[in-house]
């Protein structure tokens, strides 16, 4: 029931709103057609990032894809955590070490073993628009532990202007959700895998000479 | 002719039938050629024709549906064009509030056009928005590069909203002594403007030698320009049955649309060249962005409206 609601919610409301009002262009959506499980890796500039990646998914994949969100931000109130849980199937994780509980990587690994796909922002937090920070190693560990699961690089272009950090005003401006082809890491070493992931995202960024994430001043 | 209890002038149906037949013939020919030999040029042409189908269907809806639907569609096109211009323009983070307010000019302007509040229609963007946007920018308090933002944001509103809303204003022209109605006037304007582009391109390819604006658009030539405006004037004379115009008036309008269409095209080319981009976006496959298609009509629409009303009154 929830699944049907969520699916139509994305198809009838979120996607048209993003596409026609905000000006989001989803590129290369067909890569999901013959893909069962994946880890989506994207740059992070704005609160719009998660919702636009979820909207880029084909309807039947929404149920099996979870966004990984920071518990210290989205878990502040029970309403916020329930909303993120409902709309993004969110897995709330603690960015700082939570003592006693299972580690973040174990939680995510368990979800992957259950067949759930993930949306990850390896930069950790929303960075400066147009600049990709160093990736945290977690993504590489997960990919190493699950060699049958590919990662899908995504470059989100323009959301840093639509809704920047520390701002509440949403303005329509052209943005691109650039989905890359799924990649199975070739390397064994954690650092090498991390490098591969970052390179894939950067390559998507450099496909277009224009960078819509940046203001001039 | 009556469709679903709604009257569509026979002239408009003729013209639409001709345009759709041309599109069908082109599609069929390209598909057959592509079936025989797959080349990238043909693939590109087929993508373009596909987009032309969608554009033409959009135009057909605008001119045959009730004015309220046509106005809403035109307002949406203006909004998309404005969003595109804001996105390519050199905006600052301090401009965001001004841009947000700028978007609200679209529904207001089209509301004024739909209700024929002619006077307010004329001064809403050139006066009210022209003052409000800089004032908002001043109130946000960041002065670095504020002069540039003060001029480009109202200019973009003028180009994409004010100019295009003249098409919606055409819905209000009284049709006493001609039967094609506002739909006929709109298709007359759109046909002349887009065929002018085609004529200038074709004449330029056939005879073009002397470059007309080498620093702005190196492909435009004097031969294409002159051949284009004469062909456009001829077309205007041929399809004047869509308007209440006399023969010589149609010729004058054809000439002027030829010149102004060329200038509009060059204007957007110059802006793109300044920003170092080829297309304004990749919204329409094979064509680029919305502004790449609207570049000529943004200048021809207001000129056509004022010439037309002058000729009707005198």
Does the distance separating the beta carbons of A23 and B87 come in below 8 Å?
yes
Nearest CB neighbour to B100, from listed A171, A209, A212: A171
Does the distance separating the beta carbons of B87 and A158 come in below 8 Å?
yes
Query: For residue A164, what pLDDT band results from cuts at 50, 70 and 90?
Result: confident
Q: What's residue B175's pLDDT?
A: 66
Residues A3, A152 contacting (CB under 8 angstroms): no
The count of domains in chain B is 1
Nearest CB neighbour to B86, from listed A25, A167, A173: A173
A168 part of contact set with chain B, CB < 8 Å: no
Does the distance separating the beta carbons of B92 and A174 come in below 8 Å?
no
Structure tokens at B122: 């004329």
In a domain, B260, yes or no: no
Q: What's residue A79's pLDDT?
A: 85
The share of chain B scoring above pLDDT 90, in percent, equals 69
Per-residue pLDDT tens for B183-209? 899 999 999 999 999 999 999 999 988
Quote ipTM for the complex: 0.90
B103 part of contact set with chain A, CB < 8 Å: yes
CATH number given to A2-206: 3.40.1130.10
B283 part of contact set with chain A, CB < 8 Å: yes
Q: What is the domain extent for residue B161?
A: 68-172
Query: For residue A96, what pLDDT band results from cuts at 50, 70 and 90?
Result: low
* For residue B313, pLDDT beyond 90: no
Query: For residue B131, what pLDDT band results from cuts at 50, 70 and 90?
Result: very high
State the pairing for strand pair A91-93/A65-70: parallel
* For residue B83, pLDDT beyond 80: yes
How many whole angstroms separate alpha carbon B103 and alpha carbon B39? 42
* For residue A95, pLDDT beyond 80: no
**Can you give the residue ranges of every domain in chain A?**
2-206
Does the distance separating the beta carbons of B277 and A173 come in below 8 Å?
no
Place of tokens 């496959």: B285
Chains A, B: CB contacts within 8 A come to: 49
* For residue A177, pLDDT beyond 90: yes
Q: How far apart are the first and last CA of chain B?
A: 31
Task: List, edge to edge, every strand of the sheet that includes A117-120.
Answer: A24-27, A175-179, A151-157, A39-42, A117-120, A65-70, A91-93
- The residue of chain B with its CA nearest to that of A164 is B93
Residues of A in contact with B103 (CB under 8 A): 171-172
Interfacial A residues in 17-46 facing B (CB < 8 Å): 20, 23, 25
Residues of B in contact with A217 (CB under 8 A): 92-94, 142, 144-145
In a domain, B234, yes or no: no
B153 part of contact set with chain A, CB < 8 Å: no
CA distance B112 to chain A (A): 22
How many whole angstroms separate alpha carbon B269 and alpha carbon B158? 17
In a domain, B273, yes or no: no
Query: For residue B57, what pLDDT band results from cuts at 50, 70 and 90?
Result: very high
A131 part of contact set with chain B, CB < 8 Å: no
Does the distance separating the beta carbons of B90 and A216 come in below 8 Å?
yes
Query: For residue B76, what pLDDT band results from cuts at 50, 70 and 90?
Result: very high
How many whole angstroms separate alpha carbon B9 and alpha carbon B199? 28
Does the distance separating the beta carbons of B87 and A169 come in below 8 Å?
no
Nearest CB neighbour to B97, from listed A20, A158, A169: A169
How many whole angstroms separate alpha carbon A159 and alpha carbon A172? 10
Residue of B101, B100, B106, B121 whose CA lies nearest to B71: B106
The share of chain A scoring above pLDDT 70, in percent, equals 97
Using CA atoms of B141, A23, A158, B98 in order, give the dihedral in degrees to the nearest 10: 0
Helices B130-140 and B146-157: crossing angle, nearest 10°?
150
* For residue B179, pLDDT beyond 90: no
Residues of A in contact with B79 (CB under 8 A): 172
> How large is the average pLDDT for residues B10-20?
91
Nearest CB neighbour to B87, from listed A20, A169, A212: A212
In a domain, B116, yes or no: yes
Residues of B in contact with A164 (CB under 8 A): 93
Q: How far apart are the first and last CA of chain A?
A: 47
Query: How far from A63 is each of A8, A93, A96, CA to CA, in Å?
Result: 12, 19, 28
Does the distance separating the beta carbons of B283 and A25 come in below 8 Å?
yes
Give the Cβ contact number of residue A87 at 10 Å: 17
A141 part of contact set with chain B, CB < 8 Å: no
A169 part of contact set with chain B, CB < 8 Å: yes
* For residue B271, pLDDT beyond 80: yes
In a domain, B57, yes or no: no
Does the distance separating the beta carbons of B282 and A210 come in below 8 Å?
no
Structure tokens at B59: 């135009």
In terms of C-beta density within 10 A (0-12 exposed, 13-18 middle, 19 or more buried), how is residue A91 classed? buried
Residue of B198, B147, B189 whose CA lies nearest to B171: B189
Residues of B in contact with A169 (CB under 8 A): 96-97, 100
Residue of A124, A192, A212 whose CA lies nearest to B83: A212
Bridge partner list, A65? A117
Residue of B298, B2, B4, B7 whose CA lies nearest to B181: B7
Mutate to test the interface with A, among B86, B92, B147 (most CBs of A within 10 A): B86
Length of chain B, in residues: 314
């Amino acid at each position: 029931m929830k699944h049907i609601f969520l699916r139509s919610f994305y198809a009838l409301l979120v996607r048209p709103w993003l596409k026609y009002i905000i000006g989001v262009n989803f590129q290369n959506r067909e890569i999901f057609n013959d893909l069962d499980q994946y880890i989506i890796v994207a740059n992070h500039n704005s609160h719009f990032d998660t919702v636009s990646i979820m909207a880029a998914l084909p309807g039947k994949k929404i149920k099996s894809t979870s966004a990984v969100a920071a518990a210290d931000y989205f878990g502040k109130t029970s309403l916020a955590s329930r909303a993120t849980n409902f709309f993004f199937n969110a897995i709330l994780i603690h960015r700082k070490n939570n003592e006693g509980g299972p580690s973040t990587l174990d939680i995510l690994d368990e979800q992957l073993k259950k067949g759930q796909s993930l949306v990850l922002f390896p930069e950790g937090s929303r960075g400066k628009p147009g600049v990709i920070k160093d990736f945290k190693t977690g993504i590489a560990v997960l990919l190493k532990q699950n060699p049958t699961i590919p990662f899908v690089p995504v470059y989100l272009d323009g959301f840093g202007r639509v809704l920047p950090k520390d701002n509440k005003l949403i303005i329509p401006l052209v943005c691109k959700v650039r989905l890359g082809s799924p990649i199975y890491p070739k390397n064994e070493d954690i650092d090498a895998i991390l490098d591969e992931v970052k390179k894939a995202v950067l390559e998507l960024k450099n496909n277009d000479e224009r960078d819509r994430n940046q203001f001039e001043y | 002719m009556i469709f679903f209890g709604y009257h569509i002038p026979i002239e408009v149906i003729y013209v639409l039938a001709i345009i759709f037949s041309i599109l069908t013939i082109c599609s069929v020919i390209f598909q057959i050629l592509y079936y025989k030999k797959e080349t990238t040029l043909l693939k590109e042409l087929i993508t373009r024709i596909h987009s032309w189908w969608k554009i033409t269907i959009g135009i057909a809806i605008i001119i045959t549906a009730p004015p309220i639907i046509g106005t809403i569609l035109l307002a949406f096109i203006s909004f998309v064009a404005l969003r595109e211009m804001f996105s390519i323009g050199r905006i600052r983070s301090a401009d965001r509030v001004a841009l947000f307010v700028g978007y609200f000019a679209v529904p207001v302007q089209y509301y004024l056009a739909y209700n024929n509040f002619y006077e307010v229609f004329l001064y809403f963007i050139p006066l009210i928005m022209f003052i409000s946007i800089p004032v908002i920018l001043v109130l946000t308090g960041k002065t670095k590069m504020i002069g540039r933002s003060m001029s480009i944001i109202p200019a973009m509103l003028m180009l994409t909203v004010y100019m295009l809303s003249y098409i919606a204003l055409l819905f209000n022209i009284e049709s006493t002594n001609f039967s094609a109605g506002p739909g006929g006037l709109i298709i007359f304007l759109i046909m002349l403007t887009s065929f002018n582009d085609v004529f200038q391109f074709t004449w330029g390819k056939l005879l073009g030698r002397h470059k007309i604006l080498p620093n702005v658009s190196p492909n435009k030539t004097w031969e294409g320009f002159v051949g284009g405006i004469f062909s456009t004037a001829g077309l205007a004379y041929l399809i004047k049955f869509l308007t209440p115009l006399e023969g010589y008036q149609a010729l004058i309008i054809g000439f002027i649309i030829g010149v102004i269409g060329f200038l509009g095209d060059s204007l957007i080319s110059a802006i793109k060249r300044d920003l170092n981009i080829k297309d304004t976006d990749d919204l329409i496959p094979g064509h680029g962005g919305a502004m790449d298609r609207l570049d000529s009509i943004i200048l021809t629409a207001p000129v056509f409206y004022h010439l037309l009303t002058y000729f009707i009154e005198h």
